[in-house]
Structure 1
Amino acid sequence: MKRGRAGRPEKPISRELKSNAQLAAFLRKRRAAGDWTYEEVAEQSDGLSRQTLQRAAAGGMTVPSWPVVSAFIRATSPLRETDVELERATKTALDLWRKARYEQRQKTMSRRPEPPVLALVRSEADLAAVLVELYERSGAPSMKTMERRAGGLGILPHSTAHRIVTRKTLPYTLVQFDAFLNACDVPMKRRDPWYAMWARVVGMHPIELKSELAKLHASPPSEGRVRSIADTPARGFLANAA
């Protein structure tokens, strides 16, 4: 990317949402590191305007969409940045964005009771509460995004995902529960407590759970399964995962 003038000094970051201010600061740091103007960043960001990029790095109560944030990260990637470094920057931005989305929604939505920790979940009501919290912590993705991340057609229809996050139903099969974890981007290495919690609520014996998980994970991944960081197209691993 061509280097350019830094432009006029930016207005101070609005700190109405602490997490969104942290995200804005991270984006500004990326841009400043290359000494690029917003016009130059816009030229590299798949059609986003200078104004959209400036708003993304402004803070305040409006959290930018993840596609805007991920485009900002890619557009400010210097030629010397490795795939690993870009992936790390994308992961940092995603963590900040999810926290900002969570904080924003907590301020604008009616308060929910604090969900129990996984080890204390015993009832369907408890399960419903922790699944809603998981959804919110994952950035509250759209139902169509959840359906796409979940895997093949029909594994977690967007209508079913909506009923789960609005506490109108629960994932009563292991396949559907696993699909919900996929949709919320829960890393595989952190899923054991989630599986144990679900089995406890639906009454599945640990031995049966182990057997069913072995069969589930022995199956080849569905064509629609997304293993990238929040569906982010990028280089290297991220490009192959999209």
Structure 2
Amino acid sequence: MGRPEKPVDRSVPARAELADFLRALKADAGLTYERMATASGGAPSKATLERAASGRSVPAWDTVAAYVSLTMTPNTRLMSPWDPMRRARVLWICARRATRAPYYLHKAPDPQMVWGVADFSRALRDQHVWAGCPTPGEMERMAGPGMLPSSTTRRIIQGQILPVDPAQAIAFLTICDAREMVLWIEAGLRALMNDRPHDVGTYAWVKAHKRMLAEQAESDDTAFADATVLNAA
């Protein structure tokens, strides 16, 4: 089974919790880092996998996702009360947040506090930090081809530009684990209407907001109808 691992570095508790979780998956799968690296074709490498579970640093999300996939077994899915990949994502975000978030950021930003373009830009940046500061490259890969080019994402993160349209904003916010997407699109629309009411691009936000409200109303109507049927049964 290979030589014993060094103890997990516990200087940052959130980092240590992620490392403990990864090591537990590896132990349950009965694998060595050599076998994991071979199964991955060397990407990530044995050294990268070992470092990911050391607790000394927070690995890239791509590495964590690969680690979880390599150690996933049918038993893992059956015996776990949670999805291992989702659990890994939560622990990774907490670890990144613990090591990268500025001292003033104690909770996720509230889109309802956005009134202007500067507010919206700042809220997007804070949400990115709250999600663990995924890199532009990571975000581009997670969003899919063409949706979040790394160069555009970098400029959004730096506060130089806003997303080009609501679809890009939704992709950015989804990767950054934002909730209440209707409120976020409403915030973007409010910011643009206050600061750029005559901008051609503002119309796209109007349409997106109306569509999301209609979808929400339809979902609420469906839920109400289902509840009515159940209560009558």
* TM-score above 0.5, yes or no: yes
Indicate conservation of the 8 Å contact 2:125/2:157, yes or no: yes
Given candidates 69, 72, 96, the residue that maps to 1:77 is 72
Given candidates 11, 15, 21, the residue that maps to 1:26 is 21
Other structure's SS at 1:14 match: coil
What is the CA–CA distance in structure 2 between the aligned matches of 1:23 and 1:170, rounded to whole Å?
Answer: 32
Matched, 1:191 2:186: no
Indicate conservation of the 8 Å contact 2:136/2:153, yes or no: yes
Q: CA deviation at 1:101?
A: 1.9
**1:43/1:192 CA distance change after superposition, 3 Å:** same
Q: CA deviation at 1:84?
A: 10
Question: Where in structure 2 are there 5+ consecutive unaligned residues?
Answer: 194-201, 217-233
Given candidates 142, 153, 160, the residue that maps to 2:152 is 160
The correspondence of residues 78-227 of structure 1 with structure 2, limited to 5 A, is 78-82=73-77, 88-106=83-101, 117-150=110-143, 153=146, 155-171=147-163, 173-184=165-176, 186=178, 190-203=180-193, 210-213=209-212
Q: CA deviation at 1:66?
A: 1.7
Deviates more, 1:128-137 or 1:178-187: 178-187
Q: CA deviation at 1:174?
A: 2.6
Measured against aligned partners, the alpha-carbon deviations of 1:54-77 in whole angstroms (never above 9, x if no partner) come to 2111102x2112222122112212
What is the CA–CA distance in structure 2 between the aligned matches of 1:119 and 1:214, rounded to whole Å?
Answer: 16
What is the CA–CA distance in structure 2 between the aligned matches of 1:13 and 1:157, rounded to whole Å?
Answer: 36
Matched, 1:65 2:60: yes
More helix by share: 2
What is the CA–CA distance in structure 1 between the aligned matches of 2:156 and 2:49, rounded to whole Å?
Answer: 34
Equivalent residue for 1:235? none
TM-score norm. by structure 1 comes to 0.68
The correspondence of residues 229-240 of structure 1 with structure 2, limited to 5 A, is none
Amino acid at match of 1:130: A
Question: Where in structure 1 are there 5+ consecutive unaligned residues?
Answer: 218-242
Indicate conservation of the 8 Å contact 2:111/2:183, yes or no: yes
**1:182/1:18 CA distance change after superposition, 3 Å:** same
Equivalent residue for 1:39? 34
Q: CA deviation at 1:169?
A: 1.9
TM-score norm. by structure 2 comes to 0.70
Deviates more, 1:166-175 or 1:24-33: 166-175
Q: CA deviation at 1:95?
A: 1.3
Q: CA deviation at 1:163?
A: 1.6
**1:104/1:116 CA distance change after superposition, 3 Å:** closer
**1:208/1:31 CA distance change after superposition, 3 Å:** closer
Amino acid at match of 1:120: M
Higher Rg: 2
**1:172/1:55 CA distance change after superposition, 3 Å:** closer
What is the CA–CA distance in structure 1 between the aligned matches of 2:78 and 2:175, rounded to whole Å?
Answer: 24
Alignment coverage as a number of residue pairs: 205
